[in-house]
Amino acid sequence: MSLADLSRYEFARPASLDAACRLLSDREKKGARTVLLAGGTDFMVQVSQGGAAEGPLPLVLDVSRIKELACVSFDGTTLRIGAGVSYLELQRDPVVREYAPLVARMTQDIGGPTIQGRGTLGGNLATASPAADGVAAIAAYDPVIEVKSSRGTRKIPIAVLQTGYKQTSRAADEVIVAVEFRAPAHGSAWCWRKVGTRLAQAISKVAFAGVAEVHDGRVTRVGFAMASVAATTALLPNTRELVRLTPLAQLTAAAVDAAVASDVSPQDDVRSTRDYRMHTAKAVVRGFLRDLGAPV
Amino acid sequence: MVDAKKARETREPVVGENVVRVDGAAKVTGGARYVDDIPPMPGELHGATVRSRVPRGILRAIAFDPSFDWSDVTVVTAKDVPDNVVQLIVDDQPVLAAERINHMYEPVVLLACSDKAKLARAYAAVTLDIEPLPAVFDMEESLAAETVIWGEANVQNRYLITKGAADTDESEAAIDVAIAACEVVVRGSYSTHHQEQLYIEPNGMIAWWDEAGAHATGSLQCPFYVHKAFKRCFHLEPEQIHITQAVTGGGFGGKEEYPSLIALHAALLAKKSGRPVRIIYDRVEDIEATTKRHPSRSWIESGCDRDGTLRALKMRVMMDAGAYVTLSPVVLSRGVLHAGGCYRWADVRIEGIGVATNTPPNGAFRGFGAPQTIWAIERHLDAVARQLGLDAGELKVRNMLVEGDTTSTSQTLRGSVGGTECVERAFEASDYLARRRAGPSVLGRKARGLGCAVFMHGGGFTGSGERMLKGKVAVDLLAGGRLEIRSGSTDIGQGTETVFAQIAADAAGIPFEHVSVAVPSTTHVPDSGPTVASRTVMVVGAIVERAAKELAARVEASRRPGETFAAAGDRLLAKEGPQSALVQYEPPAWVNWDDKKYKGDAYPVYAWMCDVAEVEVDLDTFEVKVLNFWSAADVGKAIHPLMCKGQLEGGSLQAIGWALSEEVVWKAGAIVNPRMTNYIIPTALDAPPFETFLVEAPYEHGPSGGAKGIGELPMDGGAPAVAAAVEHATGLIINHLPLTPERLFAAWLNSEAAQ
Ligand SMILES: Cc1cc2nc3c(=O)[nH]c(=O)nc-3n(C[C@H](O)[C@H](O)[C@H](O)COP(=O)(O)OP(=O)(O)OC[C@H]3O[C@@H](n4cnc5c(N)ncnc54)[C@H](O)[C@@H]3O)c2cc1C
């Protein structure tokens, strides 16, 4: 594909989620390719970076107007964010700001205002880049991802959704509908720290999301996630365990560093180096723990 | 009835006023037509360039996939090029590679087709058979010349500047003796990296042929460079070539020499196909193939007194020209001429060497060699201050050139030397000295520091350049007492049209709105010389002023009592036919330059500037944020103060980007990051608040009361000021650009290990 091919794409905008699922499954059976389109901010880059197209182009199926993907709701326990809600809407949503302030804050660091106005969590999750800021932010809440196809609905835990570099366990005919998670206790500590190549329009070198419920110097619920330090969004299981099992006052910098080091496997690439990423990963985790009162 | 003479006398002068830009409305409303906005001409084709994709080798064969339908694709190879040379300084660069491949993005085959999608497939159906040869990417490896890739030993150019004790045949031994005799000797090495201009509008050209000859229009800085290139390549008469500038979305030097090549390519395809051909580079192709700032390496050894009085300077500067010469000799020349900085040295030996590598030719970029050497000398003075226990700012002030002093080329500064005032203004606004003395401020994991750079930048062509160039400008009298300026100088976003109109309006004594500027087209404007070298306002503006004055005087002389200027002009036109004034530039008579000895008046005058940067360094992540940027610049005379500040602030931001985040990443001769997503220029959020002061020490030969050239000046100081501020904040001494967080982190690891 190249941008010169753009005018040759067929385009469909189904009226409902069911209609979208039907269309997807019909085409799937015929062996015809389909790509979903939400904000288009990853899609357009994929098109312009592709070479000259051979064979038929996929049908572009626009999911951005499907109402099931467009809602944000909170039932007192669980926060549900539609996969098609734009970052800008998340930034302004009172429920998100109140119960998942980390997510609202993260959206300010996505690209720039124009990208924030179009990009969605659904697109971020489906592209599954290890640098995805949105995925890192929600992963700190241990969410499930709801997907739907004409075969039914599944709720996939984030750890199960991610299967490899830019790969997910979502089937080709499944639409990502929403993200759901149990909101932390109201007013719990959180941290969002993006270390990018500059202050806007930046891909993360390292981005860290942390949430913690703290009682009597102990962390009773913890969620950590990190972008750009592994093939998928890193969930830092060893670091989480260390923090859950050790009173904050007894945490040491060396122990935290060792745990983080065991949880990440950063690489050299065009944006940064392995060593810098490793150093920064440790530093940002310690920064959050210091804010919680740990002597690290 | 209004007394016309009186009306003219009471007309408000516009020089010094922030008049509305003449190109502003069209640009902000989208009405301005950049090359790719020009509607397609009948039968027009899109053109594309197949490149070598091998850094060095021998082209054995070109294969065209026989299963592809080539019937509606025009193909051009070296065989179709009448004279296969891009005319510039040295005839080493082919328009299309015929046999030798010298860099990764060497153009080899041109294709044109009316269907863009098919053109993309045709591109994929061409295969180049290139036998690879060992390539050289490193300057020192090139100098060692074990693999010869250019000329006899890879060296394209050498310059030597000597002064004082070193002004002998044995200059090296002499300077060594002079330095050894000094109380304090400091040595260091410094380096700078590539920089991409990253103008908003990528390069592009449309070319066609008709009975009048060859035409090209597009994004460019120097229409007469393209004209010369056409004359050479197609062996045409000058009047058969018609080169016209389209609205141009930035250049910064990146559209100085390269557009000649694109225009030739489009014209070759147009000639063969008999159709107009449009070649528009996308961002990736533009970053990969077009010119960049020359990387440099400098070695400095200097001697001074214990009290900080500088004495002797020995410096060696090496620049990476890339695969072909293009403008490198001139870039290196400006580099060595600025290498001593704005300081008083009694004994000097500065050596410049330009070497070839198998990378795309480096070329013009705002500053033109000076930012590289000023980085080195400013960082070196920071090192001297460190060694002496002095503040770098105080050391710089103590040794700054003032009127009557002589530069490294033994030029005596004859006036318009506003450096001291610049330093005073910038230091005062930033409270530099007190805050430096107070030391860095550390809050949690963030440290703040301040640093300064002081520098001067020569205006106009180097040495005897303007004398040889003989730039010309014409001003025509139009109906209604209006004037039109015809000049080859281009407005590429910097505001030339507006400033020229201001200069002419005040010179002729007519309203600003009565002056227009003709579209630069080689068919109907005289050659004013290229739009480069901070010369447009200072040099070309000066002849605009003279031409407007001359023409107005002619109208004035024929004016009857009570008659308006417009009426007098109309009568003159009716009676004597078209009226215009053609003026050629003459440098001041005293300008005396010896090209052999590299001695004398390198530039008739210098603009001055002092930058103070305040940075905050995150001690965990080593991210550097520029919190404040104060600067004061001696511009001679600010004709349009707002645009003048705009140039200074934009240039400083470009320098900050070069210092902190911009980096061309190479892998075996290929650019790994040819996109805006990974070649990291600063965004608006990364830009510090700028506080900029204009100092006016008029230059007697500058237009409108003494304007000097300032386009390049601000590019010189941002990087050393930021590096000095980072050092103040963290103690980390960085002498090699860029100061990315990764490099600062590595430097911090080294300093930890050393302790
Ligand atoms: C200039 C720029 C800056 C950017 N900055 C950032 C940044 O700072 N941080 C960051 O993380 N990302 C960034 N991105 C990437 C991009 O904006 C995000 O990944 C965004 O979340 C993608 O969402 P979208 O709706 O635009 O996806 P689209 O481009 O519409 O789709 C992306 C992919 O997801 C699939 N898809 C979309 N919706 C669904 C769905 N509901 N179910 C199943 N599959 C679906 C599509 O088929 C496609 O494969 C940037 C992109 C650009 C162009």
Note whether residue B439 is domain-resident: no
A127 lines ligand 1 (CB under 6 A): yes
Closest alpha carbon within chain B to A51 = B120
Q: Exposure pattern of B414-427 as b/e (b: 16+ CB <10 Å)?
A: eebbbbbbbbebbb
Note whether residue B125 is domain-resident: yes
Asked if residue B497 and residue B578 are part of one domain, the reply reads yes
Return the CATH class of domain A67-182.
alpha beta
Q: Which residues does B276 contact at the CB level (< 8 Å), separation at least 6? A: B40, B41, B42, B43, B44, B45, B206, B207, B208, B270
Please give the tally of structural domains in chain B.
Answer: 2
A133 lines ligand 1 (CB under 6 A): yes
B511, B500 Cβ separation under 8 angstroms: no
Name the percent of chain A lying above pLDDT 70: 97
Q: Which of B121, B661, B745 sits opposite A197 (nearest CB)?
A: B661
Last residue of a domain, one of B549, B584, B619: B584
Active site residue B712: yes
Query: Which residue, by CA, sits nearest to atom 37 of ligand 1?
Result: A123
> B750 in contact with A at a CB cutoff of 8 Å?
no
Note whether residue B528 is domain-resident: yes
For residue A53, the model assigns a pLDDT of 59
A115 lines ligand 1 (CB under 6 A): yes
**Of residues B140, B188, B193, the one with CA closest to residue B743:** B193
Q: Which 556-615 residues of chain B touch chain A by CB within 8 A?
A: none
Residue A195 has pLDDT above 70, yes or no: yes
A290 lines ligand 1 (CB under 6 A): no
Last residue of a domain, one of B273, B289, B305: B289
Note whether residue B375 is domain-resident: no
Q: Which of A52, A271, A286 sits opposite B124 (nearest CB)?
A: A52
A83 lines ligand 1 (CB under 6 A): yes
Residue B390 one-letter amino acid: L
Note whether residue B698 is domain-resident: no
Q: How far apart are CA A246 and CA B579, in angstroms?
A: 90
> Where does residue B362 fall: left (phi above 0), alpha (psi -120 to 50 degrees), or beta otherwise?
beta
Q: Which residues does B242 contact at the CB level (< 8 Å), separation at least 6? A: B212, B213, B214, B215, B216, B521, B522, B523
For residue B10, the model assigns a pLDDT of 59
Residue A218 one-letter amino acid: R
Last residue of a domain, one of B289, B322, B351: B289
- The sheet with strand A34-37 has its strands ordered as A11-12, A59-62, A34-37
Closest alpha carbon within chain B to A284 = B620
- The verdict on a CB contact (< 8 Å) between A270 and B742 is no
Q: How far apart are CA B257 and CA B114, in angstroms?
A: 28
Asked if residue B79 and residue B25 are part of one domain, the reply reads no
Q: Which atom of ligand 1 is nearest to the CA of A87?
A: 21
**Cα B190 versus chain centre, distance:** 21
> B684 in contact with A at a CB cutoff of 8 Å?
yes
Place of tokens 């204009």: B694
SS (H, E, C) A133-166: HHHHHHHCCCCEEEEEECCEEEEEEHHHHEEECC
B729, B625 Cβ separation under 8 angstroms: no
> pLDDT per residue over B703-722, tens digit each?
999 999 999 999 999 999 99
Place of tokens 């800021």: A133
Asked if residue B497 and residue B477 are part of one domain, the reply reads yes
Note whether residue B145 is domain-resident: no
- Provide the strand spans (E) within chain A: 11-12, 34-37, 59-62, 72-74, 78-82, 144-149, 152-157, 162-164, 167-168, 175-182, 189-196, 204-215, 218-227
A107 lines ligand 1 (CB under 6 A): no
For residue A1, the model assigns a pLDDT of 47
Q: Which residues does B170 contact at the CB level (< 8 Å), separation at least 6? A: none
**Mean pLDDT over each residue of chain A, to the nearest integer:** 95
A67, A73 Cβ separation under 8 angstroms: no
Q: Give me the residues of chain B with pLDDT under 50, please.
A: 1-4, 7
Query: What are the residues facing B155 on neighbouring strands?
Result: B355
> A41 in contact with B at a CB cutoff of 8 Å?
no
For residue B1, the model assigns a pLDDT of 40
Enter the pTM of the model.
0.97
Q: How far away is chain B from the Cα of A51, in angstroms, using its nearest Cα?
A: 8
A116 lines ligand 1 (CB under 6 A): no
Q: How far away is chain A from the Cα of B645, in angstroms, using its nearest Cα?
A: 24
Q: Which residues does B251 contact at the CB level (< 8 Å), separation at least 6? A: B197, B199, B219, B220, B221, B490, B492, B493, B531
H or E element that contains B474: strand B472-478
Asked if residue B203 and residue B100 are part of one domain, the reply reads yes
**Of residues A191, A91, A214, the one with CA closest to residue A141:** A191
Tokens read off for B282: 């996308």
Residue B455 one-letter amino acid: F
Note whether residue B515 is domain-resident: yes
* Residue among B69, B666, B683, B750 with most chain A CBs within 10 A, to mutate: B683
> A276 in contact with B at a CB cutoff of 8 Å?
yes
- Cα angle: B470, vertex B527, B219; to 5 degrees: 135
Domain with residues A189-292, CATH architecture? 2-Layer Sandwich (3.30)
For residue B463, the model assigns a pLDDT of 87
Q: How far apart are CA B158 and CA B325, in angstroms?
A: 13
Q: How far apart are CA B521 and CA B490, in angstroms?
A: 10
Tokens read off for B191: 């380096």
Q: Count CA atoms within 13 Å of residue B655 on its CB side.
A: 32
Asked if residue B23 and residue B101 are part of one domain, the reply reads no
Asked if residue B124 and residue B242 are part of one domain, the reply reads yes
Q: Count CA atoms within 13 Å of residue B595 on its CB side.
A: 9
Note whether residue B427 is domain-resident: no
- Cis status of the peptide bond prior to B741, with omega within 30 of 0: no
> pLDDT per residue over A237-278, tens digit each?
999 999 999 999 999 999 999 999 999 999 999 999 999 999
Q: Count CA atoms within 13 Å of residue B568 on its CB side.
A: 18
DSSP letter at B595? T
> A211 in contact with B at a CB cutoff of 8 Å?
no
Query: Which residue, by CA, sits nearest to atom 19 of ligand 1?
Result: A124
Q: How far apart are CA A75 and CA B82, in angstroms?
A: 77
> What does the CA dihedral B222, B228, B230, B236 come to, rounded to 10 degrees?
140
> B661 in contact with A at a CB cutoff of 8 Å?
yes
**Cα A47 versus chain centre, distance:** 22
Asked if residue B27 and residue B76 are part of one domain, the reply reads no
Asked if residue B124 and residue B20 are part of one domain, the reply reads no
Question: What is the residue range of B57's domain?
Answer: 40-134+197-289
For residue B4, the model assigns a pLDDT of 46
H or E element that contains B112: strand B107-113
What is the total residue count of chain A? 296
Under the banding of pLDDT at 50, 70 and 90, the label for residue A51 is low
Closest alpha carbon within chain A to B622 = A280
| Residue B61: CATH number of its domain | 3.30.365.10
B120 chain-A contacts, CB cut-off 8 A: 2, 4-5, 51-52
Backbone angles phi, psi at B56, to 5 degrees: -160, 140
**Distance between Cα A31 and ligand 1 center (Å):** 25
